Chains A and B, each alone.
Chain A
């Protein structure tokens, strides 16, 4: 029997069992849509993180105190403010803090182009009649244009001669105080500062530069009464050096300065590459977790198809007997039911893909990043057909093995 004729018979069977066929298809639709949607969320998140990370710059190296601490969250893109190194909120008490002396010693490491030893703290910022608690970061004026993940949108950057000047993040102007603040006065912990520049939006998360106020390092030291320890160090690697190698050199130097070994290291040092791989591994784990959850629903859908196929075989037992009495080989009967199941899987796959596109739009509307790639579509379709075929195999094998005389007697 020609495959096209077997296909026609399978289609005919599905058409005459519409409700059951659609219910089986629905199971696959939900399974495939879940798989694609959930994985697309992790793909979207990954893309989002990558695009945010691209703003950090590949040449940026961040050093923070503490072993496996939040300092690894990175430079100004993530850690322009005090929340980023996880320290300021809890005070300045740890003996494992990195000192300004140590920071100065790192400037001589080969491959270091700029070094920005930062002092940061949360402070009450007053503008007109509004008081807001914001992250205030003391930066080195010379290094700041490069160590900041945002460029100047209006005004200028901090200069060497500045004392009570401030550069504010985009959100400080647009959201926190909602006013044009360039050249206006702000008050930090009772000290007056002039806003000389406003940064572009970085798009980084809550603790990024968008919500921070940047002032000269020397002023910050006095303001926060912190002259010994840095909050974090942002190093810019020279363009002719590999940032990862520079980071290694910095780590070696700092370990020797602090008399610690690799295993007792009490600071973290990270580059864009290490950050990216850390985040990627987290998002990959998330993708596997979400995929596994979605996979379960696809398996449940597959069981639905198998159930529908078993019922279909039972319903068509007499027809199987007839086909065999007319000379159909076992392989033809088998193909008939496997094709029927694959069509259920394939139709479910197509509809599931369409539903996942709809779901992606909805997720986007709720602010959840999701991205459906061609690979995901193919994975969904392939998976649905495979689930259909596997679900149909056993019922089809059963159908093919029925003796014609028994099948014809079936009521």
Chain B
């Protein structure tokens, strides 16, 4: 069932909205301007596990980039925890990414010159945490994704699945409230994909983190509480598959 966008929940028992897109469009310039997103409005609630599906070029990655404040909309407004992104300075947006958002990329994007532990430490270093504190937290996070024994390994010494688990550990190291994953299983085999899906589900279920996944993976999409289908830059459907979990508001 589609939600009524841009409105606070009528049901007070529903988790609160932490992210809202209001009539957002994104047009890429060039000789022939291309409208990647066209008047998209979405409310995202705390603790939701959302999959965004659609064909290649439908605008789902653009949507994820806007949700992650990696890009700015041409029109419309993105609100995170009630704050309009367009009114924020670059530094404030960077702080928001650091404190509230976590990213998992299809191509992992691990720093090749840093080992697994240092990669996980990176967001905490950006936050300004002390070295000792970071080390303890990074090892603990790596342990939570089953990679405690690979802490000293460099990305080149890890399998695809392991790399993605390091990327997940890195994404959650600053305890974000929203995790954005762009095709997290896109470069993985079935077994590794399964492990990643379980990791993401556990994050959502156990930690109350809102997880938004852009995926082609049907298995992964079916695990989501809510599936948003994008076609030609517009929301074709927005379906809740399960009841939202009860999480703290």
- A interface residue numbers (CB < 8 A to B): 1-2, 5, 9, 12-13, 15-16, 318-319, 321-332, 403-405, 408
Chain A residues whose CB sits within 8 angstroms of the CB of B99 once the complex forms:
327
Chain A residues whose CB sits within 8 angstroms of the CB of B231 once the complex forms:
none
Selected contact of B123 from candidates A12, A326, A404, A408, CB within 8 Å: A326
The reply to whether B70 and A327 form a contact with Cβ atoms under 8 Å apart is no
Q: Which 9 A-B pairs have the closest CB atoms?
A: A327-B98, A16-B113, A327-B97, A405-B71, A405-B70, A5-B125, A326-B123, A329-B94, A404-B70
Chain B residues whose CB sits within 8 angstroms of the CB of A331 once the complex forms:
91
The reply to whether A1 and B126 form a contact with Cβ atoms under 8 Å apart is yes
Chain B residues whose CB sits within 8 angstroms of the CB of A5 once the complex forms:
125, 131
B33 shortest CB reach to chain A, Å: 17
A/B interface sample: 14 pairs, CB < 8 A? A5-B131, A13-B113, A16-B112, A322-B109, A323-B122, A327-B98, A328-B94, A328-B98, A329-B94, A332-B126, A403-B71, A404-B70, A404-B71, A408-B70
The reply to whether B126 and A405 form a contact with Cβ atoms under 8 Å apart is no
Selected contact of A326 from candidates B65, B103, B112, CB within 8 Å: B103
The reply to whether B91 and A325 form a contact with Cβ atoms under 8 Å apart is no
Instruction: Tell me the residues in window 116-134 of chain B with beta carbons closer than 8 Å to chain A beta carbons.
Output: 122-123, 125-128, 131
Q: How far is the CA of A398 from the CA of B120 in the complex (A)?
A: 26
Chain B residues whose CB sits within 8 angstroms of the CB of A404 once the complex forms:
70-71
Given A327-B97, A330-B91, residue A1 in contact with residue B128 (CB < 8 A): yes
The reply to whether A327 and B127 form a contact with Cβ atoms under 8 Å apart is yes
B120 shortest CB reach to chain A, Å: 11
Chain A residues whose CB sits within 8 angstroms of the CB of B65 once the complex forms:
405
Chain B residues whose CB sits within 8 angstroms of the CB of A323 once the complex forms:
122, 126
Chain A residues whose CB sits within 8 angstroms of the CB of B125 once the complex forms:
1-2, 5, 9
Give the size range of B's interface with the partner.
Answer: 20 to 34
Q: How far is the CA of A403 from the CA of B99 in the complex (A)?
A: 19
The reply to whether A319 and B111 form a contact with Cβ atoms under 8 Å apart is yes
The reply to whether A322 and B111 form a contact with Cβ atoms under 8 Å apart is yes
A124 shortest CB reach to chain B, Å: 79
The reply to whether B128 and A325 form a contact with Cβ atoms under 8 Å apart is no
Q: Does B236 contact A (CB under 8 A)?
A: no
Q: Does B59 contact A (CB under 8 A)?
A: no
The reply to whether B91 and A327 form a contact with Cβ atoms under 8 Å apart is no
Q: Which residue, B99, B125, B128, has most C-beta atoms of chain A within 10 A?
A: B125
The reply to whether A408 and B90 form a contact with Cβ atoms under 8 Å apart is no
The reply to whether B109 and A330 form a contact with Cβ atoms under 8 Å apart is no
Given A5-B125, A403-B71, A405-B70, residue A327 in contact with residue B94 (CB < 8 A): yes
Selected contact of B109 from candidates A1, A12, A318, CB within 8 Å: A318
Q: How far is the CA of A327 from the CA of B92 in the complex (A)?
A: 9
Query: In chain B, what residue has the closest Cβ to A12?
Result: B113
A331 shortest CB reach to chain B, Å: 8
Query: In chain B, what residue has the closest Cβ to A321?
Result: B109
Chain B residues whose CB sits within 8 angstroms of the CB of A324 once the complex forms:
70, 94, 97
A11 shortest CB reach to chain B, Å: 10
